[in-house]
């Protein structure tokens, strides 16, 4: 049987094939027209056993309902993901609600363990425009330095407010106009509330283990105590780091390096959520984080090409 492979479809969406199973990590394939398009759309997905959703936001779960309906695959996610998917018409027997602490035997020697995690702290400075891109060597200090501690309020006000305003308000900004169209499209099911960030440790018998953590946030104790320690770690690299529910004092590069150390120096590290966002900041320059991880740990950072199957172990 073919060894486990991973394909990246931008942001934090991946397709994992292992032991004859197809497991999607998030499902954001059909995206606003201002960001990169892929050869695989939601309508093209014919194979899916599980969709492991990280949380309920607009750039993570849209499309999960359609994939589940057309393939019979099961959606795993927090309570808010379950609410959204029920409203989208996904049958109850295809929904697996989790909160962290669950173990799912996917069959064929694949075991999925679920752990609580944290969303990053969104960058937000009232009255100031967002930069075009961010760098992982930028130092952030202070409790509210260029971020908000209330992600739900921010999402409702900043993004929900776009829907409430007429499209004509955004005529001079094609990127915002298209993003407003996407948010208002009734086929894109999501929530302003993340519902509680989840991360997944996927163990593949005879091959190794993969950690999927889609955002720049973590409970230190949970990461330190993961067993088995992952051979490969997918780590989110966007936003201000959220450590144990508080803003991390330092650079994102330092935080990401600490995550790698807590995980016991996985052989391979893969960044996600750092590319081609539909609104500013458009992307995150991970150069500093990659250098720090490779200088200070035993891990190697792997830059995946879009849509190209990568042999995991």
**Structural element, H or E, at residue 289:** helix 287-296
> Could you give the C-alpha distances from 298 to 210, 251, 301, 313, in angstroms and in order?
17, 20, 10, 16
Give the pLDDT score at 158: 83
For the chain, counts of helices (H) and of strands (E):
8, 19
pLDDT of residue 212: 98
Tokens of 4: 């486990």
Position 128 scores a pLDDT of: 65
CA atoms of 98 and 100, how far apart (whole Å): 6
pLDDT tens across 145-155, in order?
Answer: 567 777 888 88
| pLDDT tens by residue, 281-299 | 899 999 999 999 999 999 9
Q: What is the pLDDT of residue 123?
A: 72
| Predicted local confidence at residue 144, as pLDDT | 60
CA proximity to 17, closest of 47, 61, 62: 47
Residue numbers in the chain where pLDDT is lower than 70: 124-128, 143-146
Domain range 5-121+189-311, CATH architecture: 4-Layer Sandwich (3.60)
Q: Say what the pLDDT of residue 44 is.
A: 97
What are the residue ranges spanned by the domains of the chain?
5-121+189-311
Tens digit of each residue's pLDDT (9 = 90 or more) over 186-208: 999 999 999 999 999 999 999 99
Q: What global pTM score does this model have?
A: 0.96
Rounded to whole angstroms, how far apart are CA atoms 230 and 201?
Answer: 7
Tell me the pLDDT of the chain averaged across its residues.
Answer: 95
- Identify the burial level of 190 via C-beta atoms within 10 angstroms of its C-beta, where 0-12 means exposed, 13-18 middle and 19 or more buried: buried
């Amino acid at each position: 049987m073919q060894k486990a492979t991973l394909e990246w479809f931008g942001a934090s969406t991946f397709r994992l094939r292992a032991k004859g199973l197809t497991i999607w990590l998030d499902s954001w394939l059909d995206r606003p027209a201002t960001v990169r398009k892929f050869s695989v759309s939601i309508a093209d997905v014919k194979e899916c056993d599980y969709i492991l959703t990280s949380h309920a936001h607009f750039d993570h779960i849209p499309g999960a309902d359609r994939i589940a309906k057309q393939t019979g695959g099961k959606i795993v996610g927090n309570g808010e993901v379950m609410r959204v998917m029920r409203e989208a018409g996904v049958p109850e027997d295809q929904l697996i609600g989790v909160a962290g602490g669950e173990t799912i035997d996917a069959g064929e020697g694949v075991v999925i363990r679920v752990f609580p995690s944290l969303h990053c702290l969104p960058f937000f400075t009232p009255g100031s425009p967002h930069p075009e891109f961010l760098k992982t060597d930028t130092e952030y200090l202070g409790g509210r330095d260029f971020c908000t501690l209330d992600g739900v309020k921010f999402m409702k006000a900043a993004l929900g407010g776009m829907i409430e305003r007429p499209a004509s308000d955004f005529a001079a900004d094609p990127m915002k106009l298209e993003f407003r169209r996407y948010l208002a499209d009734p086929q894109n099911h999501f929530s302003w509330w993340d519902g509680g960030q989840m991360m997944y440790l996927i163990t593949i018998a005879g091959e190794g283990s993969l950690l999927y953590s889609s955002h720049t946030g973590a409970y230190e104790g949970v990461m330190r105590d993961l067993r088995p320690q992952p051979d490969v770690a997918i780590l989110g690299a966007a936003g201000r780091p959220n450590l144990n529910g508080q803003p991390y004092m330092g650079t994102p590069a330092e935080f990401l390096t600490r995550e790698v150390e807590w995980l016991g120096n996985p052989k391979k590290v893969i960044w996600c959520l750092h590319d081609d966002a539909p609104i500013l900041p458009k992307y995150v320059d991970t150069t500093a984080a990659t250098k720090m991880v490779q200088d200070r740990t035993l891990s190697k950072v792997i830059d995946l090409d879009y849509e190209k199957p990568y042999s995991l172990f």
